[in-house]
Structure 1
Amino acid sequence: MSPSSTPGLSRLKKNHKLSLAGVAAVGVAALSFSLVPGPASAKAEVAEVAAAPAAAWSGYQSAELQAGIAGQKSAFEVKAAAETKAKAAAAAKVKAAAKAKAAAAAKAEAAAAAEAKAQVAAKERLVVKTVASRAAARTPVYANNLDGWIREALDIMKKHDIPGTYEGIHRNIMRESSGNPNAINDWDINARNGVPSIGLLQVIKPTFDAYHIPGTKKSQWDPVANIVAACNYAADRYGSMDNVDSAY
């Protein structure tokens, strides 16, 4: 048989090529080409040579690759921690901003409430002042003389439904005291009984006390109180001071 037709030799050349490739991958040059193995030994040789790169890769994986993976893991953890910290800082910033906004809103609301309260108080003061001013404007000012005393007495009498006119009051005052609020009768029967007639309309104490109108001074000597009490008595006794033309 010629070498080219020999099956074993053909397989040997192919196996030798595989062996050379495996040796080149792992750096092994110790295989010999002098022996021509049979089919079984050729398969074993191929398996052995094929296993060499795997063994070398396994060694690389168990050392350098593991170190690389560990490094990548460490870098990932650092990055994850940085991202977590950044997220926490952003959340804290958002929370602080929300808190500041809420505080500002509360402050603005308190200021608005205080302003509204101040405005209400100012309006109330203005109303009180206006009412007082109007009341003062409506309150007449009476002269401190006979004319003023009669006019003030007439306003009080009107509020208490006591009849009487300026003319009737003035006429009786001029007859009884000539318009002197300090006039006193110390010679008639009343004076002898210890209750002299006093004032503009010469009223005795028991009559003044019985017909005194609240809001006026409790004194016979006060001209306005004297007129009002006397007119109240005259209204009860004669219907009105206008009807009195003599001692009463």
Structure 2
Amino acid sequence: MPSFTLPRAFRAARITRTHKISAAVVASASCAATLALTAAPGNAETTAAQAPAGVKPVSANGLPLTAKDRADDGAKDRQVASSLTAGLKVTAVAKQGHTAKQAADRSADRKIIAAPKAAPNAAPKRYANNLDGWIRQSLAIMKSKGIPGSYQGLHRNIIRESGGNPNAVNNWDINAINGIPSKGLLQVIQPTFNQYRVAGTANKLTDPIANITAAANYAANRYGSIDNVNSAY
């Protein structure tokens, strides 16, 4: 069979048509890759896995991704995640610091006012050396010991028993006959005084304060209070 050579123009047209077909195939593949990238999540590895077998992921310059490109992308992703985590930690620490400062400020606002201290070596209260002073001093002692009685109750019984004389002595009643006469402001006999004398007072029957407090102590035990005594007791 005789051989023949195609004209140059025919060969050029044939080559151009082939190239056009190849270009169409490449364009179709590019569109498929674009659709796959749009529909899939923004994960490079997932996109590459879901793309058609004939299409390979490419970099920004249009060349296929190399192992180094993937490693660089992974490093960038880890760096971004690390930055976000660090930012959250810094925010949490700052918030905790702000909360602690607010608590400290509130504590500082609550100023504790200390109770005033008693004056050191305060001088004891002084009472007049008369019937009024004796009754008031006796009442202060009775209050500290829990012995009931009022100024009026004490005063009324003192006037009836001794007329306000701390050295008064009864020499005519049964007690006097028995050798233990009643003495003092509230006419107390010695055995009663010995039993009911209030600690801290003078151990003397005719002492005004000792006599009053002992008589009030006795009356409280027997009658409930010196206020309840209106006659000889």
Q: TM-score, normalised by structure 1?
A: 0.46
Structure with bigger helix share is 1
Q: TM-score, normalised by structure 2?
A: 0.49
Higher-Rg structure is: 1
